[in-house]
Amino acid sequence: MNFGLTEEQQMLSNVARRFLEERAPMSTVRDIMESPEAFDDKLWSAMAELGWPGLIVDEAYGGVDLGFVDLTVLLEETGRGLLPAPLISSSLAAAAISEFGSDAQKQRYLPSLADGSAIGTLAILEDSDFLGPDGIELTGAKEGDGYRLTGAKRFVHDVGVATIFIVPFRAAGDILFAVVQSSTKGVSSQSHPTMDQTKRMGDLTLDGVIVSKDDVLAGASDGAAALARLLDLATVAVTAEMIGAMDRALEMTTQYAKDRVQFGSPIGKYQGVKHPLAEMYVDVETSRSLLYYAAWCVSEKPEALPVAAARAKAYASDAFTRIGIDGVQLHGAIGFTAEYDVQLYLKRSKWALPAFGDAEFHYERIASLGGY
Amino acid sequence: MDFNLTTKEEAFRDEVRAFIGENLSPEARKDPGFLGGWLKKIREKRWVGFNWPEEYGGGGGGIMEQVILKEEMSKAGAPPLGLCMMGLQWVGPAIIQYGTDDQKKKFLPDILDSKYQWCTGYSEPGFGSDLASLQCKGVRDGDEYVVNGQKIWTSLAAWSDWIILLTRTDFDTEDKHEGITCLLVEMKSPGIEVRPIKNMSGSSHFAEVFFDNVRVPVQNRLGDEGKGWGVTISALAHERSGISEVAGLVGQLNDLVELAKRTRRNGRPASEQPSIRRRLAKADVVIEGMRLNGQRFLTKQLKGEPLSSETSINKLHRAFLAIELGDLALEIRGSASQYVKSDNGPGMEQNRLPSGALDWPNVVIGGGTPNIQRNIIAERILGLPKD
Ligand SMILES: Cc1cc2nc3c(=O)[nH]c(=O)nc-3n(C[C@H](O)[C@H](O)[C@H](O)COP(=O)(O)OP(=O)(O)OC[C@H]3O[C@@H](n4cnc5c(N)ncnc54)[C@H](O)[C@@H]3O)c2cc1C
């Protein structure tokens, strides 16, 4: 039993932190988030040079061939720095193709996802905003050896920059996964202004899009199970960024509590301030324990992943909500200013809450998985 | 990162399971001599104090095996691994860390044999949370210390043979943490009087203990004179980590889930009520969080680093759960929860769950209150100024 990072993982974490401090400090993050799609292609290329978009892609397809725990280590850092980049989305698209694609499909998509020249994302939710098989109503009409898709996906992360969409749809009662490229006829996307400007999302509209047999992920024979698996991976990835962000919000607020003097003492001397900070610490550490176990389950104990992922996201959602609010509140009025960074973490907590299931959604999953 | 057991650890786990299979059958449990026989057998296997040094009667095993042993035993609902609870959980470990060779020989085997019960004499009427200000006086007189003063909330004092006692031997130190001396005192020493205190759930498991010119041989001093605070910090970390063991909590939660399934509330199984489902699921997450936090702390211990302030994290979770599980049981049972004894339903419902709503101070206040745990985290881990 060893619940710690390996030397390589520690190094990955250090390199990521240093890279982000140099290349994407908060001033840069703010510039990027003001841009139309909150995307900086130079920064993305630099990330690609480090191998990040292909971190969990097989070496045979141009990736770095690391695992989900390693990705989690990296995402903690990108979350910490509120990095606006489609890293989670593209990693998840790559994971979908890696797990459920044929060899030809992997050959076709993975190298470009791994080197960053393509950007992928999952396009799952529809108008119902319901995560799960029943939320997939988009129906494919038979067309030759493939399907014709007409409908819309909603709340698609990084929809404005993605070039490859993983689109679950229904055909003859089954759920299938189409790999749809942004350049295909009938595909259009529209991103909406978001509360957290570092995270963009929006609609993917499919207007008679033709999907050939080769565009349907071949290995997802049990569509509902494949969907559940993808949602679990997504849950872990999003939670990883949440924990990095929470940790940083705690760090900023702790520092502020040491520096800010009122009534003749640093405010961190008062229990009304120090106790919420202690609670934040308990929450960050406990979230982290739950997260890494879930990340480990991805490949080492897949049967335990659903409940492990649900526990991690449920706990982190409650925790981050509190940390976002307390982080601002404990700063006083300055925390409410646009100029001060802690508010960006509050906004991130709001973004993260519904992403791949809010606390209620995951508590309910825990209850049903637990047989009650 | 690896949560799997090694082959060697798996083999050990299988050995434990096989032992449980052989010795814990329902028929075996019905035997009137079962408990005595059980204690003897686990002692022979050296599973009591399994990670204590072999030369003093321990099993010489690793911490990991110790964890496996406890987990398997708890899953099987086995009787405890030895009856001397405080002796096994923190007095023994403190003696192993700070004791002289003679003390180890004298005390450790008896703890392992459940021969003597130990109690813990820290708190005083004037000093609970502010433990380091304690005033119970120890004065060196030749080869003895003479102790005068009072302790309170001493759990199991009325049944104990020995007490691990904190005294102040120096009243002139600038730092209150200095000048404290830890003594191991026989409860039948002349001058000790125990007065049990009844708690709100009706039992008298703790007591006041008075010391009137009690003479304690110098060889029963644990650690150096004036340096008892270090002993206490380490013992408290063990106490908090013991309080926060999760195996029993998993069982309690499972019981609650079963209770919710078969109890009807508002015309339907309580387990279908969203607020109850959410509370059960939240408890499940916190218990799993504690288990995994524990594994992170264990990794630290396996690398040879001592337990310290991080034990306050799980102590806070444990405090939340103690209150939450007790109250959840009340909510599930509804009006029937008000009966302390009832004839319908299995034993669990008659006693354990309702009293849970009144028993929580054991783990919430005992071992240091939540506010004190928050102070520890804020000051020692986050580095905020002391208040
Ligand atoms: C069931 C049970 C068993 C026990 N067994 C033992 C035992 O075997 N041996 C032993 O020595 N002791 C034992 N104790 C005593 C226990 O350790 C103390 O009760 C505990 O440390 C609190 O001390 P106190 O009761 O004097 O409360 P106080 O210290 O007076 O605290 C009262 C309240 O004030 C709060 N408070 C105090 N100081 C601060 C502060 N600085 N900041 C914020 N809040 C503060 C506390 O959190 C608490 O809510 C036991 C207690 C219980 C309930």
- Residue recorded with tokens 């203990």: B209
DSSP H/E element including B297: helix B274-302
Tell me the CATH number at B11.
1.10.540.10
User: Which residues, 6 or more positions from A33, have their beta carbon under 8 angstroms from its beta carbon?
Assistant: A84, A197, A198
DSSP H/E element including A152: strand A146-157
Across the interface, whether the CB atoms of A282 and B3 are under 8 A apart is answered no
- Total Cβ atoms within 10 A of residue B96: 18
Q: Which residues pair with A210 in a beta bridge?
A: A148
Residues of chain A neighbouring B285 (CB-CB closer than 8 A): 290, 311, 314-315, 363, 366
For residue A135, give Cα distances in angstroms to A118, A123, A130, A139, B112: 27, 12, 5, 12, 59
Report the pLDDT value the prediction gives residue B346, as an integer from 0 to 100.
43
Q: What is the mean pLDDT of residues A81-110?
A: 98
Across the interface, whether the CB atoms of A278 and B382 are under 8 A apart is answered yes
In chain B, pLDDT over 70 holds for what percent of residues? 96
pLDDT value at A161 more than 80: yes
Q: What is the mean pLDDT of residues B246-252?
A: 87
Q: Which residue of B has its CA nearest to A372?
A: B271
Q: What is the DSSP letter of B62?
A: -
Question: Which of B156, B231, B362, B369 is the pocket-test mutation for ligand 1 (most atoms within 8 Å of CB)?
Answer: B369
Q: Are B184 and B217 in contact (CB under 8 A)?
A: no
**Side chain identity at B210, as an amino acid letter?**
F
Does residue B369 sit in the same domain as residue B265? Answer: yes
Q: What is the mean pLDDT of residues B138-159?
A: 97
The three-state secondary structure class of A148 is: strand
**C-beta of B365 in contact with ligand 1 (< 6 A):** yes
Name the residue at shortest CA distance from atom 49 of ligand 1: B369
Q: Is residue B373 part of a domain?
A: yes
Q: Where in chain A is the domain with CATH 2.40.110.10?
A: 120-215
User: Which residues, 6 or more positions from B206, have their beta carbon under 8 angstroms from its beta carbon?
Assistant: B152, B153, B154, B155, B156, B157, B196, B197, B199
Report the pLDDT value the prediction gives residue B353, as an integer from 0 to 100.
55
Report the pLDDT value the prediction gives residue A284, as an integer from 0 to 100.
98
What is the rounded CA–CA span in Å between residue A50 and residue A48?
A: 5
Q: Is residue B14 part of a domain?
A: yes
pLDDT digits (tens, 9 = 90+) for B262-320: 999 999 999 999 999 999 999 999 999 999 999 999 998 888 888 889 999 999 999 99
* Residue among B278, B298, B381 whose CB faces A1 most closely: B298
Tokens of B302: 């396996």
Tell me the CATH number at B278.
1.20.140.10
Report the pLDDT value the prediction gives residue B231, as an integer from 0 to 100.
95
Report the pLDDT value the prediction gives residue B350, as an integer from 0 to 100.
43
| Range of lowest pLDDT (A84-98, A161-175, A267-281, B231-245) | B231-245
Q: What is the pTM of this model?
A: 0.95
**Side chain identity at A92, as an amino acid letter?**
L
What is the rounded CA–CA span in Å between residue B240 and residue B310?
A: 10
What is the rounded CA–CA span in Å between residue B247 and residue A332?
A: 42
Test the B interface: residue of A250, A285, A301, A317 with most B CBs within 10 Å:
A285
A6 alpha-carbon distance from chain centroid: 23
Fold (CATH) for A7-88+95-114: Butyryl-Coa Dehydrogenase, subunit A; domain 1 (1.10.540)
Q: Are A242 and A287 in contact (CB under 8 A)?
A: yes
pLDDT value at B348 more than 70: no
What is the rounded CA–CA span in Å between residue A170 and residue A185?
A: 20
What is the rounded CA–CA span in Å between residue B350 and residue B356?
A: 11
Q: Where in chain A is the domain with CATH 1.20.140.10?
A: 223-368
**A147 phi, psi to nearest 5 deg:** -140, 160
What is the rounded CA–CA span in Å between residue B102 and residue B109?
A: 12
- Ligand 1 centroid – CA B362 distance (Å): 10
Q: What is the mean pLDDT of residues A207-218?
A: 96
The three-state secondary structure class of A348 is: helix
The three-state secondary structure class of B206 is: strand
Residues of chain B neighbouring A256 (CB-CB closer than 8 A): none
Q: What is the mean pLDDT of residues B335-357?
A: 61
Tokens of B164: 């691990």
Q: Is residue B237 part of a domain?
A: no
Report the pLDDT value the prediction gives residue A327, as an integer from 0 to 100.
98
Q: Is residue B232 part of a domain?
A: no
Which ipTM score applies to this complex? Answer: 0.96
Does residue B220 sit in the same domain as residue B265? Answer: no
Q: Encode B335-351: b = buried (16+ Cβ within 10 Å), e = exposed.
A: eebeeeeeeeeeeebbe
Question: Which of B84, B85, B118, B129 is the pocket-test mutation for ligand 1 (most atoms within 8 Å of CB)?
Answer: B129
The CATH architecture one would assign to domain A120-215 is: Beta Barrel (2.40)
Among the candidates B173, B198, B227, a domain finishes at B227
pLDDT value at A141 more than 90: yes
* Residue among A258, A282, A367 whose CB faces B384 most closely: A258
Q: Is residue B154 part of a domain?
A: yes
Q: Which residues pair with A189 in a beta bridge?
A: A204
pLDDT band at B344 (very low <50, low <70, confident <90, very high): very low
What is the rounded CA–CA span in Å between residue B227 and residue A312?
A: 42
Does residue B165 sit in the same domain as residue B253? Answer: no
What is the rounded CA–CA span in Å between residue A9 and residue A83?
A: 20
Residues of chain A neighbouring B387 (CB-CB closer than 8 A): 269-271, 274
Tokens of B187: 């409860």
Among the candidates B21, B56, B82, a domain finishes at B82
Across the interface, whether the CB atoms of A314 and B384 are under 8 A apart is answered no
What is the rounded CA–CA span in Å between residue A24 and residue A40?
A: 10
Report the pLDDT value the prediction gives residue B355, as an integer from 0 to 100.
65
Tell me the CATH number at B207.
2.40.110.10
Fold (CATH) for A223-368: Butyryl-CoA Dehydrogenase, subunit A; domain 3 (1.20.140)
Does residue B70 sit in the same domain as residue B192? Answer: no
Does residue B54 sit in the same domain as residue B126? Answer: no
Q: What is the CA radius of gyration of chain A?
A: 21
pLDDT value at B342 more than 70: no
Tokens of A14: 């250090």
What is the extent of the structural domain holding B329? Answer: 243-381
Q: What is the mean pLDDT of residues B339-352?
A: 52
**Total residue count of chain A as it appears in this document:** 372
Mean pLDDT (chain B, rounded):
92
Alpha helices by DSSP H, listed for chain A, are: 7-23, 26-34, 41-49, 68-80, 87-100, 103-114, 223-259, 271-300, 305-329, 342-352, 359-369
Q: How many distinct structural domains can be found in chain B?
A: 3
Q: Are A252 and A307 in contact (CB under 8 A)?
A: no
Residues of chain A neighbouring B379 (CB-CB closer than 8 A): 274
Strands A265-266 and B118-121: unpaired
* Residue among A1, A254, A266 whose CB faces B5 most closely: A1
pLDDT value at B352 more than 60: no
Among the candidates B55, B82, B109, a domain finishes at B82
